[in-house]
Structure 1
Amino acid sequence: MLNSVIVVDDEASIRTAVEQWLSLSGFNVQLFARAEECLAHLPRHFPGVIISDVRMPGMGGLQLLERLQADDPDLPVILLTGHGDVPMAVEAMRSGAYDFLEKPFTPQHLLGSLRRALEKRQLVLENRRLHQQADLKSRLEATLLGMSQGLQQLRRQVLELAGLPVNVLIRGETGSGKERVARCLHDFGLRADKPFVALNCAAIPEALFEAELFGHESGAFTGAQGKRIGKLEFANGGTVFLDEIESMPLAQQAKLLRVIQEQKLERLGANQSISVDLRIIAATKPDLLEEARAGRFREDLAYRLNVAELRLAPLRERREDIPLLFEHFSRAAGEKLGRQVPALPGAQLAQLLAHDWPGNVRELANAAERHALGLGAPNSEVAPAGQSLVAQMEAFEAQCLRAALRQHGGEIKAVMEALQVPRRTLNEKMQRHGLLREDFVARG
């Protein structure tokens, strides 16, 4: 239950009395003698109620109400009025005030109005939270494409972790989309308006690694002309994505560990520490603990990075996502080229589903671009990877069900007619493939 209350009144005796009543009833109370002070200290999305006198020096209660309504029309404001101000207060309620209390008022009267206002505020904030979650979920579905159970679980994990102040380790094969997932963790979290800095540890020569990561002062080494801000310092307040973290030199691993532990760094050639606020997202293909046992990675750093772990399934383990991804990449390539992309024949779709995709999503995107360019059938240069007939049929069936559900907006009767299957059979197949009608219903 929300319990935050702000009281604005120029009379010290009123402020003291109200504070005592409300504090004894378990409320968290802030007091202000002037409306201007209240506005200056009011947090955004204040989770509580404002109680304000109508007549005060400077800005009055009605002006305060107007300012508060402009920022948040759903913020409950209870006005305290003298006898002659009652008509004015009634008019204010028509303009959005929650309630008014005529002085002198009893503690019971105040508490009753306040509790009702807080209940309303709680409902409003919960409704906003649910709408925000639905919006984030919709945006994430458009960013991390796929309807397989693995992708649905990944999206849930990303939404859960995005708002938490923890480091994350992403495990996945080359081309499986690790940087895209890292970007989602940043974009859907509390640091979204701060820098996102990506660094591929395997692409930096060892001799340049420290300067790249930590920066340097002028003259720190031969050729160091001028001061340079490193990647970690540049990302202050935001997120650093360290891809192929297993390739980081051991000497730099020790320095990164110190930054994570102390939230401070030193540029090369500097004697002064710089405070930084960073979230580290690292990505790796091998198991970092196995790398540590082999002496190639610091075990203490592995634990610091792996506060939470996300595993990205290779494309061959979520074949039902292949048609959707291929269609997306083909359409994007067609729009970029300004040309119509031909539909994919069934035989070529079967070939897509049969291929093992060692390059994962990156390889699939390349095949889709070739298809959009008219450079032959996708994957025509490779033969099917020998998947069992049952596996290929299962993947194809799942895609057919998904396409029909999407086409008919989750209307089960229309899907039954389109696929010519009875209700019980359709239900069984949807359950086997992890398909939910709700995921295909058009959102208003």
Structure 2
Amino acid sequence: MGNTILIAEDEETLRFSLTQGLVAKGFHVMSAEKGKAAVSIIKNYVIDLVLLDLQLPDASGIEILSEIKKTDINLPVIIMTAHGDIKTSVAAMKKGAYDYILKPFELDEMIININKALEHQRLKEQVEHIRLQQKDDMNLSRIVAESSMMKDVVSLVEKVSQTPRTSVLIYGESGVGKEMIANLIHYKSSRASGPFIKVNCAAIPDTMLEAELFGYEKGAFTDARNSKKGLFELANGGTILLDEIGEMNINLQPKLLRIIEAQSYRRIGGTTDLNCDVRIIASTNKDIVSEVKKGDFREDLFYRLNVMPIYVPPLRERREDIPFLTSMFINQFNREFKKRVSGLSKEVESLLLSYPWPGNIRELKNVIERAMILAEDDTI
């Protein structure tokens, strides 16, 4: 289903031709020739983007823009303006308009602007969804630290949270909870209101990872039909977690090093330096020192990332945490599965405490989930 565009334009010929052109491109279109009518439509229908003329019969475009933003602050608005209104158009952008386009314009030019605005809005919503989801996860869970080893980890987290620019390298086996530690660092820091973005360096092909991280300009390569913001740009003011950092191609590592050292970078194909206010947290299950010795990881980048190393021990080395983790997972799945399991039998608890847990916390959680699904009474 196509996006719904609202055209607020009093010139009938332009309104009609624009409507016809957008419909032909697969958009749904609503229109209004007056500003107040446009605001009424926004209040009563789901609109994805507004094309707003600066000069409407009943109010100025700036006034209507203010009303639109009061109704839906996130609704993207593109201003349509004549040459003499450029200063007003710039003022409108300062008040929340996404962009402006000069009349007369070609339909294709407008389509490009619309698609860029919709893509920008989609990315904003995606980042906000991830941020809220991660924050919700932190509210629903906690770091279990009954063992002395995990108490040391939590102490380090508390300290590094107070220094919002310090790079952190979290290392440990798969499934020990490295991502949760990164979450905790972010949400205990002054960056908590900013985005938290996770990137799995092993899951994205080398040829795509640079574009995902740093973005690109239009025409930078064959398929770059429009410019695109990278994840570092979207994470600005917040934190980025580079999971599986040991898998990052060594040819890409100098660009990451530059971000840490200069706090700036360029998009692929770009000529302008972009400032980067992002805390970098990296995590790995590899021995990065060995990777450095083999020549597979840059030594200078390792030292820049390893300003605050945090080792998360495997579950077999902190068995005191197992009963508390188990209780946390039982409570979580009781809510999820609408069950009332109160705990473990002594036999099961003994088995859990003696098992080596090669998959660590992730494996323990999966075992408890499976047991909860199969449980027929109040004890596993």
Compute the TM-score of the two structures, normalised by the length of structure 2: 0.61
Q: Which amino acid aligns with 1:220?
A: A
Q: CA deviation at 1:154?
A: 1.2
Structure 1 outlier segments of 4+, above 4 Å: 139-142
Q: Which amino acid aligns with 1:266?
A: R
Tell whether the 8 Å contact from 1:140 to 1:155 is kept in structure 2 after alignment.
no
Tell whether the 8 Å contact from 2:168 to 2:310 is kept in structure 1 after alignment.
yes
Q: What is the distance in 2 between the residues matched to 1:344 and 1:275? A: 53
Q: What is the distance in 2 between the residues matched to 1:312 and 1:141? A: 21
Q: CA deviation at 1:337?
A: 1.0
Please, which runs of 5 or more residues in structure 1 have no aligned partner? 1-138, 381-444
Aligned to 2:331: 331
For the residue of structure 1 that corresponds to 2:144, the secondary structure is: coil
1:350 aligns with 2:350: yes
User: Alignment identity in percent?
Assistant: 42
Q: CA deviation at 1:231?
A: 0.7
Aligned to 2:161: 162
Q: What is the distance in 2 between the residues matched to 1:309 and 1:171? A: 8
Q: Which amino acid aligns with 1:357?
A: W
1:25-424 correspondence to structure 2 within 5 Å: 143-164=142-163, 165-374=165-374
Q: Deviations over 1:169-220 (max 9, x none)?
A: 1011000000100011110011111111110100000110110110011221
Tell whether the 8 Å contact from 1:146 to 1:325 is kept in structure 2 after alignment.
no
Q: 1:331 to 1:142 in 2, by over 3 A?
A: closer
Q: Which amino acid aligns with 1:173?
A: E
Q: CA deviation at 1:221?
A: 1.1
For the residue of structure 2 that corresponds to 1:281, the secondary structure is: strand
Larger Rg: 1
Q: CA deviation at 1:376?
A: 9.3
For the residue of structure 1 that corresponds to 2:189, the secondary structure is: coil
For these two proteins, the number of residue pairs brought into alignment is: 240
Tell whether the 8 Å contact from 1:199 to 1:242 is kept in structure 2 after alignment.
yes
Higher relative contact order (CA 8 A, sep 6+): 2
For the residue of structure 2 that corresponds to 1:229, the secondary structure is: coil
Q: Which amino acid aligns with 2:153?
A: L
Q: 1:375 to 1:223 in 2, by over 3 A?
A: farther
Tell whether the 8 Å contact from 2:191 to 2:237 is kept in structure 1 after alignment.
yes
Q: CA deviation at 1:374?
A: 1.4
Q: 1:140 to 1:167 in 2, by over 3 A?
A: farther
Please, which runs of 5 or more residues in structure 2 have no aligned partner? 1-137
Q: CA deviation at 1:259?
A: 1.2
Q: Deviations over 1:115-145 (max 9, x none)?
A: xxxxxxxxxxxxxxxxxxxxxxxx9996101
Q: CA deviation at 1:343?
A: 2.8
Q: Which amino acid aligns with 2:143?
A: L
Tell whether the 8 Å contact from 1:330 to 1:371 is kept in structure 2 after alignment.
no
Q: Deviations over 1:300-333 (max 9, x none)?
A: 0000000011000100000111111011112201
Q: 1:348 to 1:264 in 2, by over 3 A?
A: same
For the residue of structure 2 that corresponds to 1:283, the secondary structure is: strand
Q: What is the distance in 2 between the residues matched to 1:158 and 1:376? A: 40
For the residue of structure 1 that corresponds to 2:202, the secondary structure is: helix
Q: CA deviation at 1:225?
A: 2.3
Q: CA deviation at 1:371?
A: 1.4
Tell whether the 8 Å contact from 1:140 to 1:184 is kept in structure 2 after alignment.
no
Q: How big is the alpha-carbon RMSD for the aligned residues of Structure 1 and Structure 2?
A: 2.0
Q: 1:311 to 1:353 in 2, by over 3 A?
A: same
Q: 1:316 to 1:140 in 2, by over 3 A?
A: farther
Q: Higher mean Cα deviation, 336-345 or 182-191?
A: 336-345
For the residue of structure 2 that corresponds to 1:156, the secondary structure is: helix
Q: CA deviation at 1:287?
A: 2.3
Q: What is the distance in 2 between the residues matched to 1:203 and 1:375? A: 35
Aligned to 1:396: none
